[in-house]
Structure 1
Amino acid sequence: MTLFWISTVVLTLAAIALIAVPFLKRKANNDEALRDELNKAFYKDRLSELEVEAAEGLVENQQDLIADLKQSLLDDIPTQQKQQKTKTSIAGVLVPSVLLVVLISYGMYYKFGASDKVLHWQEVSSNLPALSKKLMSGSGEVLSDDELEDLTLALRTRLHYQPKDSTGWLLLGRIALANRDAGTAIDAMARAYKLEPKNEDVQLGYAQALMLSQDEAEQNEARLLLSRLIKNDYVDIRVFSLLAFDAFEQQDYAGAAKYWGIMQQMIGPEDSRYEMLARSIESAKKKMSPSESAVAGKSVAVTLTLSDQVNTSPDSVLIVSIHSADGSPMPIAAARYPLGSFPRTVVLDDGNSMMQGRNLSSLDTLMVRARLDSDGNVATRDADWYGESEVVELGAPVTVNIEKQYQ
């Protein structure tokens, strides 16, 4: 703020200089000064003529003529009163002009400069950390509409000076998503994605924004991002929520029921959203054919944890298999994943079935085994770490802790 007022003073002084300089230079170019110079030149010329005339004997009283010439020159010099009057007239114009410039400059700024908005903008910019913390705290505290507007203004200001701040673009995109502002959301998320294309939070945010687009190509790009997140085992219920919503919009009711079922398994029946998801699944089933409805939503979400004593190799792969409740070694369904990080959640369904004519959805009860394969050969188990679950009903959440090692 101090810099701003210093700038206004500099600009005002520059405007004053534009007015004052012509008045100050006028003294060197006024009529009196020009007349003095002319009189001096005339006096010198006349003295030279008198000397020539005296030498030729044409003038007898040369000194008297010189005296008269000097008196004439003195009579033509402006009086002190005239000079003072000129100075006074200059001051009389210059001083009011300077005051007028100052009054007009600051008066116009007070009237049209929106100083109150500038002050508010600066206060909001300084309050950005507090507003961001409140939005990201996850405490359930909701920002008011005014606070969201302030946060948007502060973010846009920061991003103007720091355009490579991916977190800022992500936050701006989330605010736009909350306001259903598709254009701003897509633009902000696209900038964040360009800066950090491997950041899973950014990928999810960008997919959310693209889902709001009316462009089929952008919607397809969103589906591609979401499918990558599932392959990378990105554990976030919003991924499945977006997939379920998109499937329902595309009239893929079996797919929608499947994703909502996965969400139920992830949150468990104690969560208040469980019943809402059950109603969504029931709504999707009503729109399906009998054959689709029979298997809709039947999948297994497995949460995997890793004990502290487990030593993993970067080349290890994760193998998750679903078996009948009797513990048969032949899996009904299985899937292979990159090592990734733990804890994590993977989902298996009929697409992972291993036995022809027997799908995962045909099981009433099951158990899950997970193994970290160190050499990439599923037939060998030496030194591999593994774990298995209790027997659970199909559709119930499953947890497997990898803690044992084959000897």
Structure 2
Amino acid sequence: MSWSEFYIIVSGLITLVLLIVAFPWLRNKNHAKQDSLSNTQIVKQRLAELDREVQEGLISEHDKRQAVDELKLALVDESAFQSHKTGNAKLPLAIGAVLSIACGVIVYAQVNQMGRVAQAAQAIEALPELSQQLASGNANNLTQRDIASLALAIRQRLREEPEDDTGWMYFGRLMLSIGQEVQAIEAIDKAVSLAPSNSANRITLAQALMTTGDVNNLERAQSILLGLLNDNPANDNLALMMAVVSAQLGDLENTERFYQQVEGKLPGDSDMAQRLVARIKELQGNTSEMAALQNTGIEPANVSTAQSDSSEAQTGFNITVRLSDDANTKAPKEGFLIVFAQDANSDNKMPAAVVKLPIDDFPVSVTLTTENAMMPQFTLATLSDVVVTARLSKDGNVAVSKGEWQGSVSAGVTANEISSLSVIIDKEL
């Protein structure tokens, strides 16, 4: 709504109120005038009747004069009453008007949102600069105030132009930069649906899906990347993303295929290349083991148990999860307790280890080790510092949803040792 529209609406409402107040007064004044005219006519008619009655001999002249005097007295009394009744009311009206205006100003001063309106206007003015910073990949340099202003301005713009795919994409990137994966994916999805031919939007959607670590989202990201590679098979960036998501899904064929496309173009000391090579070897080993098991008739579960027994000491934490007083009363009583660890020294939001349990009585003890890794090449043993988070989730998804509660604590990882840790859930999301 523009300011001109706002002023027009306010002027119309004020005019309506004035008409409502003035209408009864104008109506009563008109009625008083009509009543006065009607009484005068009645007196004149009665005088004519008295003359006729005298001529006809029904009454005497003395009776006529007496009746005329009574009519005149009645008319004078009525005129005096009307004059008193319609006396000057300017002072009461003026006092009432002043009080009404004063009350209106006080109430408006208490409930108006002019501060937020000014904030929204400032956010819209800063939108081009902040959007450029977001688009250039410098979202980490944005302050909390910048993020709030940018989100407000983008929402305002999208309210006015809901078909703007660029606005939805900016909003999705902003949410992704602050870890709001669910809102980010929804916004980027909207941008893709508005501009399905825009390959950059589809790439961003695939990246957002990959950050969640959820199997369904990873499969969707793989499908999107396959479609993009069919259109542009020589794109090495897409091939690398495809190799990474295929490795996360345990898809050996596609991991090998697309890693071969980029193998010679990655630096020799690339951490990504080393992880992909380790994952390929692991998948190849699993394939060989399964083939051997099928030939020998040995149950896979027995082999897994033997491997677990012979493995070296685990790295991880014994975590005691407690609730704050607020969380104890307001947090969901049904759902899941999700405990996960993320790398504290990078922007990688993928958990290195995750444990999900049904919500039970607190405090709860949870063991989080390398055995709980989502990817064999990305475990607690590969990290030095982590952020351990305990979240009460309604749907069991690691992605944030409204109404969930969580608590986090930073900790150092000690190799081949299970450390004790305490996490208090005290923050509503």
Same structural fold, with TM-score higher than 0.5 when normalized by the shorter chain:
yes
**1:254-269 aligned within 5 A:** 256=255, 265-266=264-265, 268=267
Asked if 1:281 corresponds to 2:276, the answer is yes
**Partner residue in 1 for 2:25:** 23
- Alpha-carbon separation, structure 1, partners of 2:49 and 2:156: 81
Which amino acid counterpart does residue 46 of structure 2 have in structure 1? Answer: R
Unpaired stretches in structure 1, ≥5 consecutive residues: 294-407
Secondary structure in structure 2 of the residue aligned to 1:287:
helix
**Partner residue in 2 for 1:340:** none
Greater Rg by CA: 1
Give the CA deviation at 1:226.
0.3
Computed over aligned residues only, the root mean square deviation of the Cα atoms, in angstroms, reads 3.7
Give the CA deviation at 1:200.
0.7
- Alpha-carbon separation, structure 1, partners of 2:56 and 2:232: 123
Aligned residue-pair number: 285
RCO higher in structure (CA 8 A, sep ≥6): 2
Unpaired stretches in structure 2, ≥5 consecutive residues: 289-429
Change (3 A) 1:265 1:180: farther
- Alpha-carbon separation, structure 2, partners of 1:195 and 1:251: 32
CA contact 2:244–2:276 (8 Å) conserved in 1: no
CA contact 1:16–1:101 (8 Å) conserved in 2: no
Query: What's the CA shift string for 1:260-284, capped at 9, x where partnerless?
Result: 6755644546xxxx53224423542
**Partner residue in 2 for 1:193:** 192
**Partner residue in 2 for 1:103:** 102
Change (3 A) 1:267 1:182: same
Give the CA deviation at 1:234.
6.7
- Alpha-carbon separation, structure 2, partners of 1:169 and 1:185: 9
Change (3 A) 1:267 1:284: closer
Which amino acid counterpart does residue 55 of structure 2 have in structure 1? Answer: A
Query: What's the CA shift string for 1:67-106, capped at 9, x where partnerless?
Result: 52563254224349x74774433x3443333333333333
State the TM-score, normalizing by the size of structure 2: 0.55
**Partner residue in 2 for 1:114:** 113
Which amino acid counterpart does residue 187 of structure 1 have in structure 2? Answer: E
- Alpha-carbon separation, structure 2, partners of 1:259 and 1:29: 93
**1:46-195 aligned within 5 A:** 46-61=46-61, 64=65, 68=69, 71-79=72-80, 83=83, 86-89=86-89, 91-138=90-137, 142-195=141-194
Q: Judge which range, 116-125 or 185-194, deviates more.
A: 185-194
Give the CA deviation at 1:46.
1.4
Secondary structure in structure 1 of the residue aligned to 2:166:
helix
Query: What's the CA shift string for 1:128-174, capped at 9, x where partnerless?
Result: 22221222235787322321221121111111111221111111121
State the TM-score, normalizing by the size of structure 1: 0.58
Which amino acid counterpart does residue 125 of structure 1 have in structure 2? Answer: I
Q: Judge which range, 275-284 or 114-123, deviates more.
A: 275-284
**Partner residue in 2 for 1:228:** 227
**Partner residue in 2 for 1:43:** 43
Change (3 A) 1:83 1:146: same
Q: Judge which range, 167-176 or 184-193, deviates more.
A: 184-193
Which amino acid counterpart does residue 165 of structure 1 have in structure 2? Answer: D
**Partner residue in 2 for 1:12:** 14
CA contact 2:158–2:168 (8 Å) conserved in 1: yes
